[in-house]
Structure 1
Amino acid sequence: MIGIVLSRADSASVHICEQLRGLESWREEYDDSRSDADGGGTVYRLDGAELREFEELHTHLDGVDSAFSDIDLLVFASRHAGETGPLLTAHPTGNFGPAEFGGYDRSLAQAAPSAQSTALAALTEHAPDGYDVGLEGTHHGPTELTTPSLFVELGSDEPQWNDPKGARAVARAILALRGVDPYDEKTLVGFGGGHYVPRFERVVRDTAWSVGHIGVDWALAAMGAPQEHHSVLRQAFERSETSYALIENNPALERTIEELGYRTVSETWVRETDGVPLALVNHLERSVRPITDGLRFGDRCPSTDAVSAECASIDYDGLSQIKIPADLLAAANGIDHERTLSTVRSRAVAVTTTENGTKLDQPVVVPPTVDRNHLTEAFITILQRKYDIERDGETVIAHEEAFSPALARQHGVPEGPAFGRLSNGQAVEVNDTIVTPDDVRERKTHMFSSI
């Protein structure tokens, strides 16, 4: 159940709620236990939502969730003010520093990260032509709420506050929040950047991660030295229900957060863990290597979209770490390292990599059902681009016709550029004699172990 707050002091709020009432068939009921100015009087209800009106501006409505009946999420239908043109936004509330616009100093409300992600998607879907859509950092009151909450806003000036199309878009986004869990296992707290948080918005749009409280640069400056304000930093995590932080360049803040026992992660880490159960991420980072050192997830446990049933049912202790024979791996990487990596990822739960995640390394993590012979055959397919291949039991035998420096010398070819041209398949002239690449090739044989 969502509770929707209408502020009569906010013309945009009034217009948004007019659109809300026009979009659904609400039941009108009367609550005489509270004053008309404090959410009593006429109350509007429908399945999954309750709308109440208040005289005071939203930012000063601390404790307003107590006016509602058994809600899971509190939504403030509000105006957005700024020099940003037509804009639809969403954000959590709180003050990292002094309370200049409602709420209390260094106090944060309960955020609703998953609901905020849903609101962003719904605002994007319903935004009228000419409107931008975005997220904002945590700011202003109210702060004293026990229910997860967010502002969903229509901005940024009088023409938009009175625009029925803009108000209807916000109303539709609010209705889309019915039945949405406010929290998500994959949630980050954000720190740094400008007020309109493009980096964190990008994470929300591009991945399954949600973002709770965001302390932008001006809010962190208002907070003061991070090592002196542990309480508000803890609130950012506790009231977003997460232990992960994504931080724009701020080493002092990063040190303090890690000292408090929370984990700072990179955007690469966030994207690589998208769609992968955090329990599996934690297991493999402990038992194999961290993502920062090259761990990447394979197609047998997708790193994008929804988590597959196969991945969700994996017995983590039953996973196998296998090592591809070093000479076989080096040969395949030398022929086509991109294809080598994609070939193994398609069969693995996770792989280890070098060179910023672009080149396969050791070991490879596979489910117990993997067929090692099929994996060997996949490597043979890569080797066949350079070699003639045969198998003898567990041995892969690779033959090639290769440039022979010794034969080139026998033909009087001087070392240097001429060697390079012959190696690349070009003939050279030596003492009025043409030496062709075929003249200086010899058959070489390489032996590789199977996987």
Structure 2
Amino acid sequence: MTVGIVVSRADSASRAIGERLLALRDWERADDDASAARYRCGGFELREFEDWHLELEGVASAFDDPAFVVFASRHAGSSGPLLTAHFTGNFGAAEHGGADRDLAEACPNAHRAVVSAFAEHAPEDYDVGMECTHHGPTAVGTPSMFVELGSSESEWADESAAETVARAILDLRGVDAHAERTVVAFGGGHYAPRPTRIVETTDWAVGHVGADWCLDDLGDPREHRDVVAQAFAESGATRAVVDGEQPRLREVVADLGHDVVSETWLRETTGVDLGLATDLEAELGRVADGLRFGDAAREGAPREYVVVDHPDGLWADAHSVDADAALAAASEHALAYTTEENGNRVAGDIAFPDANAHDAYVAALASLLDEKYDAVERDADAVRVTDESFDPGKANARGVPEGPKFGRLASGHTVEVDGEEIRPEDVASERAEAYPRGARETVVRREGER
């Protein structure tokens, strides 16, 4: 299957992108009709049309079995130099092509690839982003998206920017239209900052986006649940992110059998088997309540794992030595761990892929204590620390006045009191403490990815 590329001769930016596409590859002219030029090049078919893109309903039929169709287009607005991509459809009345309350089939995986290519290759003064779903055509006949150069005449004539768009399109060779991990997005602004972040920083793709103004056009989602359902169906998604409260919309999404998830959840589950993520949330608590997934969760989905009552005391003492390293130890060795204080403190239960990973975690925390204590020992039950330190009570008993001499003794220096030498070891006491490692419980994970 090929990627179909739509170039509109009515659109100067589209023509510029089309010219760069033709210049960047060796294309074979595949027709004799100059009014409907067709070109083929390994994995691509490019067609030129006289009509505006918005008027090209059913355009997929003009191509030979395309996997998806890309509309090479201009973007018009006051957003300055911008490279953007979006899907087509109308959540409300069709004011710019397509049908009322109708959404075209999206190609979220291909869209993510284009946004990534834009971010990597955009000219220095160009922003990169994505837009909400906001115009036709709606009956394309195959997955599709608009890939745009904006936002005014000067940018539409910018050859370097047109070439960036062309190269991003050509990078789509062999890319699937759909992604296994796709969400739809509701709420927020037209230029969709949250969906853009999701596409750029997680392994989730984003399908249809209904910005705040789109939802205003939609009206009461309970009366137009078919449009909400279509957003999921045409995106290939089972989850949504929602900006703002939107209680009626959330009610409809839940009634349709879909989940509303947060951007944090998408970020945390990036690279994590979703069945494993579901099991760990059920076992330890929700991401929304502070659960975080460790590196081990991104290395595969074990059939069984070890859940441990987290050694809070050991971790807190290690955290006092090196906060970043204590957090990193949990991330490095655990499958998942519960946190407090906005993810800055590990506490509660923690899961490991096996007992060896648990041992490695305890060892990593214990190693941080080496610089704090005179001796750190580990055994099967606990980490035991011992330390000799300045004891003010013993100093008082030896007649040392509180003040500078206290400080010198605490710093390891000998002082003299009434002609008597007082050494640091004379006024030191040994402190010993044992930090339990945590009890283990083996949990067999349910099979199957959700």
Q: Which position in structure 1 is the counterpart of 2:29?
A: 28
Return the letter of the residue paired with 1:256: V
Check the 8 A contact 2:312/2:347 in 1, yes or no: no
Identity of paired residues, percent? 46
How much does 1:320 deviate? 1.6
Residue 170 (structure 2) pairs with residue 175 (structure 1): yes
- Of 356, 380, 384, 1:370 maps to 356
Whole-angstrom distance in 2 between the partners of 1:399 and 1:351 = 28
How much does 1:268 deviate? 1.7
Whole-angstrom distance in 1 between the partners of 2:69 and 2:287 = 37
Residue 367 (structure 2) pairs with residue 381 (structure 1): yes
- Of 219, 224, 227, 1:229 maps to 224
Range with bigger deviation, 320-329 or 282-291: 320-329
How much does 1:333 deviate? 4.3
Whole-angstrom distance in 1 between the partners of 2:378 and 2:60 = 72
Whole-angstrom distance in 1 between the partners of 2:119 and 2:331 = 34
Summarize deviations over 1:378-433 as a string: whole Å, max 9, x none: 23212333332245664543222356576588689999x99x98998799xxxx9x
- Of 46, 69, 73, 2:68 maps to 73
Check the 8 A contact 1:422/1:436 in 2, yes or no: no
How much does 1:133 deviate? 2.5
- Structure 2 counterpart SS, 1:75: strand
How much does 1:19 deviate? 1.9
Return the letter of the residue paired with 2:351: V
- TM-score under structure 2 length normalisation: 0.84
Whole-angstrom distance in 2 between the partners of 1:342 and 1:164 = 46
- Structure 2 counterpart SS, 1:134: strand
Q: Which position in structure 2 is the counterpart of 1:295?
A: 291
How much does 1:171 deviate? 1.6
Q: Which position in structure 2 is the counterpart of 1:320?
A: 306
Return the letter of the residue paired with 1:261: G
Unmatched 5+ residue regions in structure 1? 303-310
Whole-angstrom distance in 1 between the partners of 2:431 and 2:376 = 12
Range with bigger deviation, 365-374 or 229-238: 365-374
Summarize deviations over 1:33-74 as a string: whole Å, max 9, x none: xxx87xxx5421111111122232111212111221111110
Return the letter of the residue paired with 2:6: V
Return the letter of the residue paired with 2:297: C
Whole-angstrom distance in 1 between the partners of 2:32 and 2:305 = 59
Unmatched 5+ residue regions in structure 2? 439-450
The structure-2 alpha-carbon separation of the partners of 1:260 and 1:421, relative to structure 1 and needing over 3 Å to count, comes to: farther
Return the letter of the residue paired with 1:444: R
Whole-angstrom distance in 2 between the partners of 1:120 and 1:237 = 21
- TM-score under structure 1 length normalisation: 0.84
Q: Which position in structure 1 is the counterpart of 2:9?
A: 8
How much does 1:22 deviate? 1.7
Q: How does 1:73-152 map to 2 (within 5 A)?
A: 73-152=68-147
How much does 1:116 deviate? 1.2
Q: How does 1:35-74 map to 2 (within 5 A)?
A: 41-74=36-69
The structure-2 alpha-carbon separation of the partners of 1:15 and 1:332, relative to structure 1 and needing over 3 Å to count, comes to: closer
- RMSD between aligned alpha carbons? 3.3
- Structure 1 counterpart SS, 2:297: coil
Check the 8 A contact 1:192/1:215 in 2, yes or no: yes
Whole-angstrom distance in 2 between the partners of 1:82 and 1:439 = 79
- Of 218, 222, 232, 2:213 maps to 218
Q: Which position in structure 2 is the counterpart of 1:305?
A: none
The structure-2 alpha-carbon separation of the partners of 1:376 and 1:74, relative to structure 1 and needing over 3 Å to count, comes to: same
Check the 8 A contact 2:296/2:335 in 1, yes or no: yes
The structure-2 alpha-carbon separation of the partners of 1:153 and 1:414, relative to structure 1 and needing over 3 Å to count, comes to: same
Summarize deviations over 1:142-198 as a string: whole Å, max 9, x none: 111331111011222223323333322222221111211112122221222221222
How much does 1:230 deviate? 1.1
Q: Which position in structure 2 is the counterpart of 1:262?
A: 258
Whole-angstrom distance in 1 between the partners of 2:83 and 2:400 = 73
How much does 1:370 deviate? 2.1
Check the 8 A contact 1:243/1:263 in 2, yes or no: yes
Whole-angstrom distance in 1 between the partners of 2:84 and 2:346 = 42
Q: Which position in structure 2 is the counterpart of 1:17?
A: 18
Whole-angstrom distance in 1 between the partners of 2:409 and 2:292 = 36
Q: Which position in structure 1 is the counterpart of 2:182?
A: 187
The structure-2 alpha-carbon separation of the partners of 1:143 and 1:426, relative to structure 1 and needing over 3 Å to count, comes to: farther
Whole-angstrom distance in 1 between the partners of 2:423 and 2:255 = 67
Range with bigger deviation, 334-343 or 278-287: 334-343
Check the 8 A contact 1:338/1:359 in 2, yes or no: no
The structure-2 alpha-carbon separation of the partners of 1:264 and 1:439, relative to structure 1 and needing over 3 Å to count, comes to: farther
Q: Which position in structure 1 is the counterpart of 2:448?
A: none
Residue 228 (structure 2) pairs with residue 242 (structure 1): no
Whole-angstrom distance in 2 between the partners of 1:421 and 1:225 = 71
- Structure 2 counterpart SS, 1:226: coil
- Structure 2 counterpart SS, 1:300: helix
Return the letter of the residue paired with 2:349: P
Check the 8 A contact 2:6/2:49 in 1, yes or no: yes
Return the letter of the residue paired with 2:262: S
The structure-2 alpha-carbon separation of the partners of 1:320 and 1:51, relative to structure 1 and needing over 3 Å to count, comes to: same
Whole-angstrom distance in 1 between the partners of 2:380 and 2:197 = 51
